[in-house]
Structure 1
Amino acid sequence: MFAFLLPARKALGHVGRECLSSALARLAPAIRPLQSSRRGVFTIAALGALAACEPIDTSLDRAAPAIDNSAPVAVALLVPRGSANASDEVLARALENAARLAIADLGDVAIDLRVYGTAGSAATAQQVALQAVSDGAKIILGPVYAENANAAAVVVASSGVNVLAFSNNTSIAGGNLFILGPTFDNTADRLTRYAVRQNKGRTVVVYSEDVAGRAGLAAIEGALARNGGTAVGAISHEFSQNGVMQAVPQIVSAVRSGSAESIFMTADTAGALPLLTQLLPEAGVSPATTQYIGLTRWDIPSQTTDLPGVQGGWFALPDPEMSARFRSRYSAAYGESPHPIGGLAYDGIAAIGALVSSGRSDALSRASLTQSAGFQGVNGIFRLRTDGTNERGLAVAQIRDRQVVVIDPAPRAFGGAGF
């Protein structure tokens, strides 16, 4: 996961405008339909809450195109260039820059990167995906927005070409479509595993009454069930100041009646987090005795770490050392800081390069993409799962004296500590 955060109310991840009826049917029963949000950029609140409009027909699955190791491997990069949206142009440039930086690091592996603009449109994404396959692409990297990624994957499924999308929307994953963006499930798993080890596994989940909040609730409850924790209560609040204030007495009651050891919040720093962490201690639930845990990044923006209520709180983040190294290298190469999701393009190329270096003709098959050892990305290790989602190595951090302190390092290999 990466150093970025945008208000979830303004932009529900980069999931875009989706077919909600299809999406919500695939979520936990507790999630009920809400009006969808306009497409935004990316948020750490990985939202598996909106689905694409057309499911991928897995009966069309075919063998991936064979790799000819005597020639550069054609890789199509689909970026939101041409949408007339200034932020899309910035994002498109950043993704291409990161991809080319990754190619430069591959050594003897030759990648023929071919960049196509989707204009931020599902229809255009389909057209350019077909064109890319016609041009000889062996794999597609991108697009960003979930409905675009789904559209591209559906139209090329019969060709066997796999798609590594920059989306964090788990509901579109599957078939020939893999998502590279970090997910709620991944973050919730990492934090609940750590909480259980620290005897903080009896938790009250506090979530907002919106799509993001309900998706977060589902992820946390699922992670608790998988990792030996217990949800002793689940309290919702409206996405408003008054809604948060009304929920506080219920949260306090749930903590006390359930002998909760922790409170796991879905709120982000642009939403209810500052108010919750102010009011709960005032109501008698001190972070010194009841561990506060966050599903989102609590260090972005950096001023969040100054809030009295977040002191001692836990959250997950990517390997800080590796993230800093990528930011430094990108800035040196391009004279500007990387876009928050630019690293996903680097990760995609890194994975492709690692597989192609094996010399196998089936290097870009589903079986190869989902090999258990995973890959090394700019923010740490990651691997693609057979269901099209991903798993990333995360660190657990705590805010102490207004500083972010890693209390459980990100794993450097799958199967070790942290997994």
Structure 2
Amino acid sequence: MAEQIYRPQARRSFLALGVGLAVLSLSACQLVPKAGPQRPPEPTGPETEAPETGPDRTEGLPQDLDRHRIAVLVPLTGANAGVGQSIANAANLALLDSGGDRIRITVYDTAKGVDTAANAALADGNRLFLGPLLSEDVRAAAPIAARSGVPVIAFSNDASVAGGGTYLMGFTPAQSISRVVRYARTQGVERFAALTPEGVYGRRAGQAMIDAVNRGGGRLIGMQSFDRGIPGLRSAIVKLNTQGTWDAIVIADSGRTAVTAAPTLRNGPSSGARILGTELWSTETGLGKTPGLRGAWYAAPSDTMFDQLRTRYRARYGGNPYRLASLGYDAVLLTVRVGKTWRFGRPFPEGELRDRIGFTGIDGAFRFGASGIAERALEVREVTAAGTKVVSPAAREFD
């Protein structure tokens, strides 16, 4: 029986199974429902089981002789509870869809103390961590897991936390910037510019831009950071305009920022330049309502499988998942796949994560490189008046 448990203190997953989400078997046993509290409009909690107690129990969990224990570490309370709950719900769906009867998932609430959650997960005998979500939580949990030889598959997009047994499932700016710049080069774009926000994401996006243009054989005309807000953004564009003209400009921030920047860019010396975006744009709708953004390109994971996941999720939990829910689903299916050769009572076979061919999940093909960061096959979309269209599909597999 596939099983997911919620611990009272803190607890809260890949589609390399060769079939699509729409035809995955629901052969796993149903959980005995003890529904958690609903907090509309946030996603509803999945079915849970109360921890068992008794002389042959460890920290309230039954001893397992024929199942691997996996910990999902996400925030279930506080400001990020909606995202964490959504990831946990999707992890539960993956367990049911895959018939993962060799795996027991327990969910730990990192918002109540990530150190406490990580140590409780180890005490409960978990041999793999899925999560945490936030980079600071990954930094805290990773060394605790490493001391016990437990790998971490985190949901963060902060590349600095990867390595040393920590793997990153999150979407990083380097992935999308590299993809959209590479596509632009195939379309004859040579001269590039970039606007990057102040902060860690902006700094990483800026370095990704430099690397992508250099690899692609283009020229980086100028790059300018900005303070978020209309005055800071407009000031940065004015400064950037003094550095020369370009054929395309990357706005390494949200679609809302691009909406704000477009009119000013269209009135500058590079008014005809192609606007490029990052994966952050994929969560926003209505970008095409801004005329200056029509024709813009950005790279993101395909939504085809996620749309099917959304339908299943809505039917089961009565609400829509956050887009990051796919990370929880894919991480569990990855675990189920590796679990086919994982011997009971042995450490998680970490080497299986570094499969050169890679895996396929809700978000398409991905694989972990030597750095521990997921390399992803992304599609390129073009903003249109009616929404978006795919101008360069994602690769189905890696070379």
TM-score interval (norm. to shorter): 0.7 to 0.9
The aligned amino acid for 1:163 is V
Q: What fraction of aligned residue pairs are identical, expressed as a percent?
A: 30
Work out whether 1:346 is the aligned partner of 2:329: yes
Residue of structure 2 equivalent to 1:367: 351
Deviations 1:362-396 (A, max 9, x none): 78333211211222221212222221211122110
| Matched ranges for 1:79-90 at <5 A | 79-81=74-76, 83=77, 85=78, 87-90=79-82
Matches of 2:162 and 2:349, distance apart in 1: 16
The residue aligned with 1:40 is none
Is the CA contact 1:299–1:404 (under 8 Å) kept in the aligned structure 2? no
For residues 287 and 378 of structure 2, the distance between their equivalents in structure 1, rounded to whole angstroms, comes to: 20
- Alignment coverage as a number of residue pairs: 335
Q: How far is 1:170 from its partner? A: 0.9
Residues 79-116 of structure 1, C-alpha deviation per residue, up to 9 Å, x if partnerless?
223x4x2x443333322211111111223652111122
1:239 to 1:128, Cα distance in 2 relative to 1, 3 A: closer
Provide closer, same or farther for how the CA distance between residues 142 and 134 of structure 1 changes in structure 2, counting only shifts above 3 A. same
Aligned residue number for residue 50 of structure 1: none
> Structure 2: which amino acid aligns with 1:235?
Q
Aligned partners of 1:148 and 1:213: how far apart in 2? 20
Which amino acid in the other structure matches residue 383 of structure 1?
R
Equivalent residue for 1:311? 294
Match of 2:139, as an amino acid? N
2:97 is equivalent to residue 97 of structure 1: no
Q: Which residue of 1 aligns with 2:397?
A: 413
Q: CA deviation at 1:309?
A: 0.8
Q: Deviations over 1:17-47 (max 9, x none)?
A: xxxxxxxxxxxxxxxxxxxxxxxxxxxxxxx
Are the structure 2 counterparts of residues 248 and 136 from structure 1 closer, same or farther at C-alpha, using a change threshold of 3 Å? closer
**Residues 1:275 and 2:275 aligned together:** no
Query: Gapped runs of 5+ residues in structure 1?
Result: 1-68
- Helix, strand or coil for the counterpart of 2:255? coil
Structure 2 SS opposite 1:286: coil
Encode CA deviations 1:49-102: one digit per residue, 9 max, x unaligned.
xxxxxxxxxxxxxxxxxxxx9711111111223x4x2x4433333222111111
Superposition RMSD in Å: 2.3
C-alpha distance in structure 2 between counterparts of 1:300 and 1:255, whole Å: 32
Q: Which runs of 5 or more residues in structure 2 are unaligned?
A: 1-63
Bigger Rg over Cα: 2
1:78 aligns with: 73
Cα distance in 1 for residues equivalent to 2:392 and 2:91: 30
Alignment of 1:140-159 (within 5 A): 140-159=129-148
Give the direction of change, closer, same or farther, for the CA distance of 1:140–1:234 in structure 2 (3 Å limit): same
Partners of 1:99 and 1:162 in 2: CA distance = 18
Residues in 1 aligned to 2:97 and 2:201: alpha-carbon distance in whole angstroms: 37
- Residue 250 (structure 2) aligned to one of 264, 267, 275: 264
Query: 2:185·2:218 contact (CA, 8 Å) conserved in 1?
Result: yes
Distance 1:250 1:94 in 2: 41
After TM superposition, the score normalised by the length of structure 2 is 0.77
**Inter-partner Cα distance in structure 2 for 1:220 and 1:393:** 18
Q: Give the letter aligned to residue 266 of structure 2.
A: P
Query: Pick from 293, 304, 322: which aligns with 2:276?
Result: 293
Match of 1:332 in 2: 315
